[in-house]
Amino acid sequence: MALPPGYAIAGDSSLPAMEAFSGVPSGTNTTSSVDHSHWSPSLSASLYKIDSWAAPYFSVNSSGNISVSPHGAETFPHQGINLMKVVKKVSELKFSGELGLQFSLIVRFPDVLKNSLESLQAAFDSAILSQGYDSYYQGVYPVKCNQDRFVGEGIVEFGSPFRFGLEAGSKTELLLPMTCLCKSNPEDFLVCNGYKDVEYISLSLIARNSI
């Protein structure tokens, strides 16, 4: 039986043997000092496998800093954001005209969220067209993945053209969609996953009447 790339059957002897994690990246020489004179941004990207988990939004630039491409693969060179410069600018003292914020910081990139939603929708639209599917895709975002209000509001705002909704699995999670979906596309879904008790049902009914 042919399997998709990256998949394997449990017990497959062709899989590499598991190695105990020692807290040191594989291939790192712990007995001698690192020669920093031969280090490069590409080696940093390779060590932390940036391209494997962060592409196309995050990369290591020529200065060795994290660079953000807010529009993914469609980001123009002049639109790239040097994250180190952002952190330095907002943390500088107020008398120099900057914000003077203290660490730790949360840096938000709404355009990354917007582009992700658009890319997801485009992928489904393309598959639906190529397969002759006679219905449509309408996504929902499970708020348990990130219960930050700005993320929820961003998904509802940027997903409005696609009727993108939210999913909640508990009374606590349900409060966020009730707030975010009040001014959303009336065709957005609010999925209440798993009725657990009477209070959850009551809150779900309140949500349906208030959205």
Both 141 and 204 in a single domain?
Answer: yes
Both 132 and 173 in a single domain?
Answer: yes
Both 170 and 139 in a single domain?
Answer: yes
Both 81 and 140 in a single domain?
Answer: no
Instruction: Give the separation between CA 157 and CA 208, rounded to whole angstroms.
Output: 19
Both 86 and 152 in a single domain?
Answer: no
- Its sign, for the CA torsion 28, 34, 35, 41, is positive
CA angle 108, 113, 116 (to 5 degrees): 150
Range(s) of the domain holding residue 80: 39-96
Both 153 and 83 in a single domain?
Answer: no
pLDDT of residue 171: 86
Residue 22 maps to a domain: no
Residue 3 maps to a domain: no
Both 114 and 190 in a single domain?
Answer: yes
| pLDDT-flagged residues of the chain (< 50) | 1, 3-12, 15, 21-23, 30-32
pLDDT of residue 30: 46
Residue 72 maps to a domain: yes
pLDDT of residue 34: 54
Domain count, the chain: 2
Residue 143 maps to a domain: yes
Residue 182 maps to a domain: yes
Both 143 and 186 in a single domain?
Answer: yes
- Domain end among 51, 67, 96: 96
Residue 190 maps to a domain: yes
Residue 21 maps to a domain: no
- Domain end among 96, 130, 164: 96
Residue 24 maps to a domain: no
Give the start-end residues of each E strand in 22-154.
58-60, 66-68, 81-82, 140-142
CA distances from 148 to 65, 155, 156 (A): 26, 11, 13
Both 116 and 201 in a single domain?
Answer: yes
Return the H-helix or E-strand segment holding 121: helix 110-131
- Domain end among 96, 118, 136: 96
Instruction: Give the separation between CA 72 and CA 10, rounded to whole angstroms.
Output: 35
